[in-house]
């Protein structure tokens, strides 16, 4: 295809004073990258294997009758294509990733090394039990760590992510309520909750009743009390909450919800801020998911699957889903079905969970030790408070007082500048940083939520603070136009985010309009 007219021309890139577009669309050492289908041409061959006529015969009627529309490229073209695409990704290995609530911290390489040991990496879930005793022992040990760090008596390892863990915990609550012969259906969810909380409750058939946040960004206890009643199934609370604050009334909240006959679900995605410092069992929690991919440094954000184990109190332990590991005289085994007399609510997913993430998370726990985990939580909180303290004279802090693992700003500092939170975040890209979380939590106007994590050095954080201070200065100096034009240095400028969500193009079609197998 003619490279001057296809997707390789960079529409919208060359406006303004910073005209950098070249005829090729390349910039610096970054190549403009057409789709692999646009690069392929018939007859080009990547790997030269001899044809084996007998194999053709063996296929019988299943032999391919025509081309299937896959692109044909040489080996170097293929390698370059995927290498260039990988260079367009921003990654935690490339720089600070300050996304609030996401805990994008360094993934220690020792974890990766252990997860790649053939004894773990080459396992198949249907292998005979006698050949996977080591893997089952590892799951058992991970369960032990999670139970002792939280003080809870039971854990389900299988949930595949945080939101899946919420689902697991809330299904256990539903099972416990049904076992009591009750039809309680109302679940209280604070307004500052992560969006997955109300979505989870609703998807299981609970009705969601929001509790407003008080002026200090925490649950309004008086408003909560007013909502309690005999139809309450439970409460879903995030702690530390999404404003980066510890819910200091949590013991009273637990007492109130139990007194009204409900269960206390805690969204523990932010466990990284408190691990080793407080045990969720001591706070009166009945079920809580833990994002291994946040607290225990397993890769995420495109780098790997999540994993969201759920710990349970004594009250909910009878309902834990299968499979779970038990140890008997003949070694470890997985209990696979909710057998006779068992009150397990059943199975959540195929097989046993994300084995590779179990290995990484346990490697992180064991290499840090309990004291190291406690230190990591302390450093995460210290770094966030440092960011807040260094920025509070130029940006506006949403709530007074110290924060936990993330610093929350609102957009009052941008008032009358013509610059929005979105413009500010886009300008940060040109400074070389992935933006912070924007417009979340919803209870704060134009929110900017920054989570530096404990794995960043003071130098890196100081540089980042320097960029934010300079941007805040430019916004206040009336430089709105440059913010509106940002980002200028990325392969693409501003995308139409509404259309991208509403009318996503998920399938490539050739120029002639014939559909190709390119979903």
Ligand X SMILES: *Cc1c(COP(=O)(O)O)cnc(C)c1O
Q: Which is nearer to ligand X, 169 or 262 (CB)?
A: 169
Q: Which of 98, 162, 198, 244 binds ligand X (CB under 6 A)?
A: 162
Q: Which residue is listed with tokens 């679940």? A: 187
Q: Which is nearer to ligand X, 407 or 414 (CB)?
A: 407
Q: Give the x-and-dash track for 115-154 against ligand X (CB under 6 A).
A: ----------------------------------------
Whether 466 contacts 431, CB under 8 Å: no
Instruction: Please report, for residues 129, 301, 313, 436, 438, the alpha-carbon distance to residue 103 in angstroms, rounded to integers and kept in the order given.
Output: 36, 10, 26, 11, 15
Q: Is 194 in the site for ligand X (CB under 6 A)?
A: yes
Which tokens go with 70? Answer: 């896959």
Which tokens go with 33? Answer: 């990258």
| E-assigned strand segments in 425-482 | 437-438, 448-450
Q: Specify the stretch interacting with ligand X by CB under 6 A; choose among 12-20, 83-91, 148-156, 267-275.
A: 267-275
Q: Which is nearer to ligand X, 8 or 101 (CB)?
A: 101
Q: Which residue is nearest to ligand X (CB)?
A: 162
d(CA 276, CA 266): 17
d(CA 268, CA 271): 5
Within 85-114, which residues bind ligand X (CB under 6 A)?
A: 101
Give the shortest CB-494-to-ligand X separation in angstroms. Answer: 25
Whether 206 contacts 188, CB under 8 Å: no
Nearest CA among 359, 432, 357, 424 for reference residue 391: 424
Q: Which is nearer to ligand X, 73 or 444 (CB)?
A: 444
Please work out the total of residues on this chain that contact ligand X, with binding judged by CB under 6 A: 14
Q: Specify the stretch interacting with ligand X by CB under 6 A; choose among 265-273, 418-426, 438-446, 495-503.
A: 265-273
Q: Is 267 in the site for ligand X (CB under 6 A)?
A: yes
Q: Which residue is listed with tokens 């780098």? A: 303
Q: Is 192 in the site for ligand X (CB under 6 A)?
A: no
Nearest CA among 131, 159, 517 for reference residue 323: 159
d(CA 130, CA 330): 9
Q: Specify the stretch interacting with ligand X by CB under 6 A; choose among 133-141, 147-155, 220-228, 264-272.
A: 264-272
Q: Specify the stretch interacting with ligand X by CB under 6 A; choose among 60-68, 128-136, 161-169, 465-473.
A: 161-169
Q: Any idea what the Cα angle at residue 187 is, between residues 181 and 191, rounded to 5°?
A: 175
Nearest CA among 440, 434, 432, 428 for reference residue 391: 428
Q: Which is nearer to ligand X, 242 or 354 (CB)?
A: 242
CB atoms within 10 A of CB 54: 6
Q: Is 270 in the site for ligand X (CB under 6 A)?
A: yes
Q: Which is nearer to ligand X, 278 or 338 (CB)?
A: 278
Q: Is 217 in the site for ligand X (CB under 6 A)?
A: no
Q: Which is nearer to ligand X, 33 or 406 (CB)?
A: 406
Which tokens go with 356? Answer: 């590779």
Q: Is 291 in the site for ligand X (CB under 6 A)?
A: yes
Give the shortest CB-76-to-ligand X separation in angstroms. Answer: 37
Whether 267 contacts 238, CB under 8 Å: yes
Give the shortest CB-25-to-ligand X separation in angstroms. Answer: 35
Q: Which is nearer to ligand X, 238 or 383 (CB)?
A: 238
Within 52-81, which residues bind ligand X (CB under 6 A)?
A: none
Which tokens go with 472? Answer: 């805040």
Using DSSP bridges, classify how beta strands 396-397 and 331-335 pair: parallel, antiparallel or unpaired. unpaired
Which tokens go with 60? Answer: 């019988």
Q: Which of 8, 150, 192, 196 binds ligand X (CB under 6 A)?
A: 196
Q: Which is nearer to ligand X, 71 or 308 (CB)?
A: 308
Q: Is 237 in the site for ligand X (CB under 6 A)?
A: no
Q: Give the x-and-dash track for 294-323 against ligand X (CB under 6 A).
A: ------------x-x---------------
Q: Quick one: residue 71, left, alpha or beta (phi over 0 = left, psi -120 to 50 = alpha)?
A: beta
d(CA 241, CA 86): 34
Give the shortest CB-100-to-ligand X separation in angstroms. Answer: 9
Interface positions with ligand X (CB under 6 A): 101, 161-163, 194, 196, 238, 242, 267, 269-270, 291, 306, 308
């Amino acid at each position: 295809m003619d490279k001057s007219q296809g997707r390789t021309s960079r529409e919208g890139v060359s406006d303004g004073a910073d005209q950098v577009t070249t005829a090729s669309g390349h910039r610096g050492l970054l190549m403009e990258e057409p789709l692999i289908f646009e690069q392929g041409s018939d007859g080009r061959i990547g790997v030269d294997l001899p044809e084996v006529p007998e194999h053709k015969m063996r296929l019988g009627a299943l032999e391919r009758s025509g081309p299937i529309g896959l692109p044909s490229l040489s080996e170097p073209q293929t390698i370059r294509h995927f290498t260039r695409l990988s260079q367009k990704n921003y990654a935690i290995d490339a720089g600070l990733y300050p996304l609030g609530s996401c805990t994008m911290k360094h993934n220690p390489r020792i974890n990766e090394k252990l997860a790649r040991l053939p004894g773990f990496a080459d396992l198949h879930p249907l292998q005979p039990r006698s050949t996977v005793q080591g893997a089952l022992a590892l799951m058992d040990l991970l369960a032990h760590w999670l139970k002792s760090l939280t003080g809870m008596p039971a854990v389900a390892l299988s949930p595949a992510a945080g939101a899946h863990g919420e689902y697991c915990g809330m299904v256990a609550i539903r099972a416990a309520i049904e076992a009591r012969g009750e039809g309680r259906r109302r679940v209280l969810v604070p307004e500052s909750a992560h969006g997955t909380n109300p979505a989870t409750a609703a998807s299981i058939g609970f009705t969601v009743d929001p509790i407003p946040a008080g002026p200090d960004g925490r649950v309004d206890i008086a408003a909560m009390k007013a909502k309690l009643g005999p139809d309450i199934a439970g409460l879903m609370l995030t702690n530390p909450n999404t404003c980066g604050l510890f819910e200091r009334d949590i013991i009273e909240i637990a007492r109130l919800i139990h007194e009204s006959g409900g269960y206390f679900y805690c969204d523990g995605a932010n466990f990284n801020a408190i691990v080793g410092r407080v045990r969720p069992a001591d706070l009166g929690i009945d079920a809580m998911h833990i994002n291994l991919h946040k607290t225990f440094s397993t890769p995420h954000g495109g780098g790997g699957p999540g994993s969201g184990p759920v710990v349970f109190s004594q009250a909910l332990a009878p309902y834990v889903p299968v499979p779970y590991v038990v140890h008997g005289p003949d070694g470890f085994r997985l209990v696979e079905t909710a057998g006779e007399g068992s009150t397990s609510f059943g199975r959540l997913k195929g097989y046993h969970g994300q084995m590779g993430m179990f290995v990484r998370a346990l490697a992180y726990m064991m290499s840090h030790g309990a004291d190291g985990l406690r230190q990591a939580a302390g450093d995460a909180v210290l770094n966030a408070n440092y960011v807040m303290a260094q920025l509070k004279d130029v940006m506006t802090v949403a709530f007074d007082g110290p924060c936990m693992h993330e610093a929350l700003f609102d957009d009052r500092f941008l008032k009358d500048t013509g610059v929005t939170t979105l413009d500010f975040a886009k300008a940060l890209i040109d400074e070389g940083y992935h933006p912070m979380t924007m417009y979340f939590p919803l209870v704060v106007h134009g929110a900017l939520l920054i989570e530096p994590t404990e794995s960043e050095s003071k130098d890196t954080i100081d540089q980042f603070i320097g960029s934010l201070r300079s941007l805040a200065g430019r916004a206040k100096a009336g430089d709105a136009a440059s913010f509106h034009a940002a980002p200028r240095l990325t392969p693409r400028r501003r995308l139409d985010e509404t259309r991208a969500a509403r009318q996503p193009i998920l399938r490539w079609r050739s120029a002639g309009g014939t559909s190709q197998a390119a979903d």
